[in-house]
Amino acid sequence: MNNIASPVLMEIQSVKKYFPVRGGITLQKPSAVKAVDGVSLSVHEGETLALVGESGCGKSTSDD
């Protein structure tokens, strides 16, 4: 790889995704499962990013 910085094509900062968990033994206030907590990354020209996981694990999860 060369020493010249390539342009940033995509950048994300401090991404968080929590899933609410209700009920349970104590029936107290809802808690959450932290699937992603504070992830940041950037993809530069010439780099490849892959997101890998089992079917149904939440790779395409959104807030919609």
Strands 31-44 and 8-21: antiparallel
Quote the pTM value: 0.61
Query: Where do the structural domains in the chain lie, given as residue ranges?
Result: 12-44
Q: Which of 43, 35, 40 is nearest to 62 (CA)?
A: 35
Residue 58 and residue 36: Cα distance in Å, rounded? 11
Length, in residues, of the chain: 64
Query: For 4-63, what is each residue's pLDDT tens digit?
Result: 789 999 999 999 988 888 766 666 666 888 888 999 999 999 999 998 999 988 888 876
Residue 17 and residue 60: Cα distance in Å, rounded? 12
| CA separation, residue 52 to residues 5, 55, 57, 60 (Å) | 27, 9, 10, 11
